[in-house]
Amino acid sequence: MENYILAIDQSTSGTKALVVNRSGEVLARSSLEHKQHYVKAGWVEHDPLEIYRNVEACAIAALEKAGLRAEQVSALTITNQRETAVMWDRLTGQPVYNAIVWQCQRTADRCAQYKAEGREPAVTAATGLMLDPYFSASKWGWMLEHVPEAREKQEQGRLLAGTIDSWLIWKLTDGEVHATDYTNASRTSLFNIHTLAWDEEMCSLFGVPSSLLPVVKYSDDRFGYTKESGWLGASVPVTGVIGDSQGALFGNLCFQEGMAKATYGTGTSVLMNVGGKLAEAGGSGLVQTIAWGLNGSVTYALEAIIRSSGDSLKWLRDNLGLFGSFEEMDRLLEDVPDNEGVYLVPAFVGLGAPYWQPAARAAITGMNRGTGKGHLIRAALESIAYQVYDAVELLQSVSGIKLEELRADGGAAENAMLMQFQSDLLRTSVVRAGAPELSALGSVFLGGLGVGMWSSPEELESCTGSSRTAYAPLMPLAARATMLAGWKRAVARLLDGGEG
């Protein structure tokens, strides 16, 4: 009998459901965007109930498109935006506040205070992360401090906290399971990546009781089951739970130490597999994290985090109206063969690796009277590649590993001009995945391994989603050096000017 997996891909911008067969072929997909709530400057929120409604709608639509009933599904898997923080009432299943998104900067002052107090070395030693509002802990702490309902529910023993995967698992199992996986737990600043347990010292620091937090499981564990009486109408095991960037690492089949990928999404995560032991990051601007949990053990990774990449293109489209579709964007780019000295440093929500400046703000440099739409669009597109170049240079320096290729996935990776430019900057091969949804495919592969659809990761090499397109460097070295120098000057100018 054919095996099918229903994958939920819950990202920063929207939700997608895919139906995938044993060959790794996507039979059907359905997607919906959710509203981005920009409450104040630097504040970003999502409505958790809207997200869950979209999960239901997309799952039902994808199954209908595939012509399948829920009882034909072997597993439901989840990949998710990672550090986004949710709190809800365990009795009613209602959030006590909107989800605070990983991009949100409202806790920047608190994190800066902790840094000034000398707390960061302890945080990094336990969690592998730096003190930054990017991660979940300070967001939950903010809710407990500023949301009266959160404090009230906590006092009543009714409050739960989790990342988006935990919220979805709770809802899918009708409140029976409060769980997360190792990858998502490792992004909270509350999880000790050495002991593989919630760290009481970190919970105390951020003011988040460990009693609110989920049970932590391996990605291929069976987390629970959907309810036959629920909207899905069948009891389906929930498994293959993994944060989106780690899901893309697994989906890109980066199973060997030193293999790395970049996921070009709202932001970009450049992640390197470092095997079964933690690699030293040494205050470099890289974070230590868990790549996945599989077969009762964990694999570790080093990560360089880029806060704004594909989001810069959405800003040009939605806020400035420079183009209406990505097809129109490509046409405008064809009319502008180079950036003519225009650079965008997309610090809309601060800068990530290697700079880690949460207070930095975006800037465009090098404009003149002849600057037009195409130059701004090209500057935004190129800014993605420049940031990935910085990230890869940092990863190579810290790990001592020279990348032979960078595997690429995510929406912006579909742009051939970007992929070629990335290869030119890196002077190495960039290999784009054949399937656009590598995070979802990674969760599918892990879930399939969990339910016995595949017996080993090696079997996944023959799956449909494993096909790839390679780009080799073509740009003359002198031109490359000039462009990189321009980028470095633009970033230095922004940082020297504080908030730009």
pLDDT of 464 > 80? The answer is no
pLDDT band at 42 (very low <50, low <70, confident <90, very high): confident
Whether residue 440 contacts residue 446, with contact meaning beta carbons closer than 8 Å, is answered with no
**Tokens standing for residue 336:** 């502008």
Q: Cis omega before residue 354 (within 30°)?
A: yes
Q: Can you tell me whether residue 429 is helix, strand or coil?
A: strand
Q: Can you tell me whether residue 101 is helix, strand or coil?
A: coil
Residues 6+ apart with CB under 8 A from 67: none
pLDDT of residue 499: 41
pLDDT of 465 > 70? The answer is no
pLDDT of residue 359: 81
Domain ranges of the chain: 4-244
Provide the CATH number for the domain formed by 4-244 in this structure.
Answer: 3.30.420.40
pLDDT band at 185 (very low <50, low <70, confident <90, very high): very high
Please provide the average confidence, as pLDDT, over all residues in the chain: 92
Q: Can you tell me whether residue 373 is helix, strand or coil?
A: helix
Q: Can you tell me whether residue 194 is helix, strand or coil?
A: coil
Share of the chain above pLDDT 70, in %: 98
Select the highest-mean-pLDDT range: 31-45, 191-205, 461-475. 191-205
pLDDT band at 353 (very low <50, low <70, confident <90, very high): confident
As beta bridge partners, residue 356 has none
What DSSP string runs through 257-276? TT-EEEEESSSEEEEEEEET
H or E element at residue 10? strand 4-10
**Tokens standing for residue 292:** 């996945």
**Tokens standing for residue 437:** 């949804």
Any idea which residue has 């986004």 for tokens? 84
Whether residue 228 contacts residue 235, with contact meaning beta carbons closer than 8 Å, is answered with yes
C-alpha 158/C-alpha 155 separation (Å) is 8
Select the highest-mean-pLDDT range: 27-36, 324-333, 410-419, 460-469. 27-36
Provide the terminal-to-terminal Cα distance of the chain, rounded to the nearest Å: 60
Among 106-120, 443-457, 485-499, which stretch is predicted with the lowest mean pLDDT?
Answer: 485-499
C-alpha 262/C-alpha 344 separation (Å) is 20
Among 54-68, 140-154, 272-286, 455-469, which stretch is predicted with the lowest mean pLDDT?
Answer: 455-469
The CB density around residue 176, as the number of other CB atoms within 10 Å, is 12
**Tokens standing for residue 179:** 């769980």
HSE, side-chain direction, 13 A CA sphere, residue 177: 22
pLDDT of residue 282: 67
Amino acid 40 reads K
For 136-175, give one letter per residue: b (16+ CB within 10 A) or e: bbbbbbbbbeeeeebeebbeeeebbbbbbbbbbbbbbbee
* Separation of CA 473 from chain center: 27
pLDDT of residue 487: 96
Dump pLDDT digits (tens) for 203-224.
999 999 999 999 999 999 999 9
Dump pLDDT digits (tens) for 257-307.
889 999 898 889 899 998 888 877 767 788 899 999 999 999 999 999 898
Q: Can you tell me whether residue 431 is helix, strand or coil?
A: strand
H or E element at residue 397? helix 373-399
As beta bridge partners, residue 273 has 301
pLDDT of residue 496: 84
pLDDT of 498 > 50? The answer is no
C-alpha 334/C-alpha 242 separation (Å) is 38
C-alpha 280/C-alpha 299 separation (Å) is 14
pLDDT of residue 500: 36
